[in-house]
A and B are shown apart, each in its own frame.
Chain A
Amino acid sequence: MKLLRNRFEFSAFHFWFIILSVFIVAGVVAGVIIFREGLQVTNLTDLVPWGLWITIDLSAIALSAGAFSLCAVVYLLGLKQYQPVARTATFIGLLGYSVAMLCLLMDLGQPLRAWHGFVYWNTHSVLWEVTMCVGLYFTVLLLETMPIIGDYKWMRKYFPGMAGRLSFVTHYAPFLAIAGLGLSMLHQSSLGATYGVIKARPIWYRPDLSVLFIISAVAGGISLTLLATMLSARFYPRIKVNDHLLERLAFVVGWVLVGYLYFRFWDGFAMTYTYQPGKTEGLQMITTGVLAFNFWIGEILLGIVIPIIILLVARFRENPLLRMVALALVVGGVVAYRWDVNLAGQLITLTYLPQEIAARYTAYVPSMIEAIYGAGVVAFGILAFILGVRYLNVIDHGVVEEEVQEAPQVVAATD
């Protein structure tokens, strides 16, 4: 009904719909050009073969980690009251992995052979393991999202049988949560190991990356879920959110960030003791070189320290606006971390010349078409989420309201 009433007035939704659609159309055009012309249209080189798209891909996967963490909280730890938040996280996860796959597909020199990863196995390869896990986990996410589709009014009306079957998947949620937890733990940390096993790029060659990747993913993933929920509640007054749940989870994110900060510092400064060719230069580039602003301001100050303060001090955390700022900063910090990791090892490579095993500096700035395609893919993710909020009810904390014993205050966020 609300929909009908809104149909003729130009709302914020229409504005964003048009803006995002423009980005998506531009992205599709860029995609067609890249598909036809090949990767020569990018600024990638043989020394820096992974660039902006890999960063988007890594970030999207990291920011989808809310799905497995919150599903584990609900179905394995048995904290059922968080189920509606897990539902939102699952949907975000599905979109995040779609974004990642769209980026990866463009990044492959032979996109039509993407299926090779599932058929030709090299069990030694971390990237093979990531491919399998991402593929299987995407299936898990699809199954986990089915009840959301089954609940869609239109489905219920026109395909009640199908809708019933889709909704029935809820009964397997605990199994799916276990599968999701296993697959996610594997590939989220293996994405770090993808870099960590590469001896040829000294700054990457260390075991810590796996730990950092998974812990930052949990912080970033839950943050994005909370942020998206709070933002949607502001845009759609009809959406019922339980601010108590969001506040509790934000508190958890605060502590996860403390762990992340500890590991990031330990990881970074454990490298400073001796001079190791390539590794030391890589660390210098991060702390004082071209990536320094990104590291100190983007990752540490804005991405970790300020959010920790806001999220762990009750007075700040309870202010919805401040909390949203903190969550947004965490998301930005995780993206900055992925960008730094990806570039650090590629901008500094070691020569193999016998008399001077020294660091060699390379450069990379994404080309316009890389940026347009990347923006298009991200816009697709955002638009799909907005549509999900609008039509699929992916945020609805009213669902289990009656089931929760303590009856926490349900706040219909206004303004």
Chain B
Amino acid sequence: MTEKTIGRRDFLKVLALGTATATGFRIARKTAASEPTGSSPHQWAMVIDQAKCTGCESCNLACKAHNDVPPDISWNCVIETESVGNRKVFLPRPCMHCEHAPCVEVCPVGASYYRSDGIVMMDYDRCIGCRYCEVACPYNARAFNWKDFDEPNPTVPTWGQPEVERRERGVVEKCSFCYQRIDRGLSLGLTPGVDEEATPACVVACRVGARVFGDLNDENSEVSQLLRENPHYRLREDLGTGPRVYYLPAREEVEG
């Protein structure tokens, strides 16, 4: 009987120890990856003018070069949609960098997270490759690295030089709004969306000026002005994801 009591106590001790260890792990690891939205002075957004886009894919190719994306993956695919008049209309689709991103919510390990400036980021060292985020993303903006990418990147050097590390096999990757260009640009005192060095590669590469990047917190930024003055829409707004990529729809009359 006494043995039993001690046994039970031991059992509870083991239980307590286990809980303590788990809690210890929790405290020891670095705090939640996501930073509170809005604590940054900037809120990055992209405006894509479908009236101007010609579907040339320059943005996609520049993206592939600057971000060292494997040939079978596009972070920034350009989709042919409908026609207005007798003109084809295209829909370039980067990551939407949603305000309420399903991918961030579902990731079991927090490998997808919000930066305070609104960018939805991937921690490629933390991703376990469960692909739940792929299932959850309504925009198919995420791609899994099914195989190794060892070959030279065919878009380099024609379309630019890689600025970030290649992702390894077995993780999910996606557009990052070229955070590396933004961060480096800001540290050099440049303005993303104005100075090419500090602006996402796809925006710089667009020959017809269909892509505009900038800070929604800056009233005078080009994105703020465009959104103030033009009718615009976002993809699948009904889902409540709050995309940070805005589209100006194709119109019969193309100005400028």
Q: How far is the CB of A205 from chain B (nearest CB, A)?
A: 10
User: In the complex, what residues of B have CB within 8 A of residue A113's CB?
Assistant: 109, 126-129
Number of A-B contacts (CB under 8 A): 143
B210 at interface by CB-CB < 8 Å:
no
Within 204-256 of B, Cβ neighbours of A (below 8 Å) are at: 233, 235-236, 239, 247, 249
Give the segment of B55-63, B142-150, B152-160, B189-197 that binds chain A. B142-150
- With A38-B169, A352-B138 as given contacts, are A110 and B127 in contact (CB-CB < 8 Å)? yes
Within 19-58 of A, Cβ neighbours of B (below 8 Å) are at: 37-40, 44, 46-47, 49-50
Q: How far is the CB of B139 from chain A (nearest CB, A)?
A: 5
Assess the B128–A171 pair: CB atoms within 8 A: no
Q: How far is the CB of A358 from chain B (nearest CB, A)?
A: 12
Q: Mark B146-181, 1 if CB is under 8 A from A, else 0.
A: 111000000000000000000001111000000000
Assess the A354–B235 pair: CB atoms within 8 A: yes
- With A38-B148, A128-B108, A131-B108 as given contacts, are A353 and B143 in contact (CB-CB < 8 Å)? no
- Per the bound structure, the CA–CA distance linking A101 and B91 in Å amounts to 41
Assess the B170–A125 pair: CB atoms within 8 A: no
User: In the complex, what residues of B have CB within 8 A of residue A265's CB?
Assistant: none
A126 at interface by CB-CB < 8 Å:
yes
User: In the complex, what residues of A have CB within 8 A of residue B4's CB?
Assistant: 171
Assess the B236–A198 pair: CB atoms within 8 A: no
Give the segment of A114-122, A210-218, A219-227, A239-247 that binds chain B. A114-122
Q: How far is the CB of A69 from chain B (nearest CB, A)?
A: 23
A172 at interface by CB-CB < 8 Å:
yes
> Nearest B residue to A115 by beta-carbon distance?
B128
User: In the complex, what residues of A have CB within 8 A of residue B105's CB?
Assistant: 124-125, 197
Assess the A117–B128 pair: CB atoms within 8 A: yes
Within 80-129 of A, Cβ neighbours of B (below 8 Å) are at: 107-110, 113-114, 116-122, 124-128
Assess the A120–B81 pair: CB atoms within 8 A: no
Assess the A199–B102 pair: CB atoms within 8 A: yes
Assess the A122–B108 pair: CB atoms within 8 A: yes
- Per the bound structure, the CA–CA distance linking A119 and B111 in Å amounts to 12
User: In the complex, what residues of B have CB within 8 A of residue A49's CB?
Assistant: 131, 134-135, 144
- With A46-B134, A128-B108 as given contacts, are A199 and B239 in contact (CB-CB < 8 Å)? yes
A79 at interface by CB-CB < 8 Å:
no
Assess the A38–B146 pair: CB atoms within 8 A: yes
Assess the B102–A125 pair: CB atoms within 8 A: no
Assess the A120–B29 pair: CB atoms within 8 A: yes
- Per the bound structure, the CA–CA distance linking A38 and B70 in Å amounts to 16
> Nearest A residue to B172 by beta-carbon distance?
A109
Q: How far is the CB of A256 from chain B (nearest CB, A)?
A: 30
B13 at interface by CB-CB < 8 Å:
no
User: In the complex, what residues of B have CB within 8 A of residue A199's CB?
Assistant: 102, 136, 138, 239
- Contact for B170 among A109, A116, A130, A349, CB less than 8 A: A109
User: In the complex, what residues of B have CB within 8 A of residue A354's CB?
Assistant: 81, 91, 233, 235, 247, 249
Q: Mark B104-143, 1 if CB is under 8 A from A, else 0.
A: 1111111100000000000000111111101111111011
- With A107-B130, A108-B128 as given contacts, are A122 and B7 in contact (CB-CB < 8 Å)? no
A159 at interface by CB-CB < 8 Å:
no
- Per the bound structure, the CA–CA distance linking A38 and B150 in Å amounts to 14
- Contact for B102 among A47, A116, A200, A353, CB less than 8 A: A200
- Per the bound structure, the CA–CA distance linking A198 and B103 in Å amounts to 10
A346 at interface by CB-CB < 8 Å:
yes
Q: How far is the CB of A143 from chain B (nearest CB, A)?
A: 9
A350 at interface by CB-CB < 8 Å:
yes
- Per the bound structure, the CA–CA distance linking A109 and B172 in Å amounts to 9
> Nearest A residue to B113 by beta-carbon distance?
A122
Q: How far is the CB of A185 from chain B (nearest CB, A)?
A: 19
B16 at interface by CB-CB < 8 Å:
no
Assess the A108–B130 pair: CB atoms within 8 A: yes
Q: Mark A162-201, 1 if CB is under 8 A from B, else 0.
A: 0000001001100100000000000000000010011111
A357 at interface by CB-CB < 8 Å:
yes
User: In the complex, what residues of A have CB within 8 A of residue B233's CB?
Assistant: 354
User: In the complex, what residues of B have CB within 8 A of residue A107's CB?
Assistant: 130
Assess the B91–A353 pair: CB atoms within 8 A: yes
- Per the bound structure, the CA–CA distance linking A121 and B139 in Å amounts to 25
User: Which of A38, A107, A128 counts the most B-chain CB atoms under 10 A from its CB?
Assistant: A38
A355 at interface by CB-CB < 8 Å:
yes
B79 at interface by CB-CB < 8 Å:
yes
- Per the bound structure, the CA–CA distance linking A124 and B144 in Å amounts to 22
Question: What are some 16 contacts across the A-B interface (CB < 8 A)?
Answer: A39-B170, A46-B144, A47-B140, A108-B129, A108-B170, A109-B130, A113-B126, A122-B110, A124-B104, A125-B106, A125-B108, A198-B102, A200-B102, A200-B138, A350-B138, A352-B138
Q: What would 11 more interface pairs be, CB under 8 Å, given A130-B108, A199-B239, A354-B233? A: A46-B134, A113-B127, A113-B128, A116-B111, A118-B22, A120-B126, A126-B106, A198-B102, A199-B138, A350-B236, A352-B235
Report, nearest first, the 8 A-B pairs whose CB atoms are least far apart: A109-B129, A109-B170, A49-B131, A200-B138, A128-B108, A122-B110, A127-B108, A40-B147
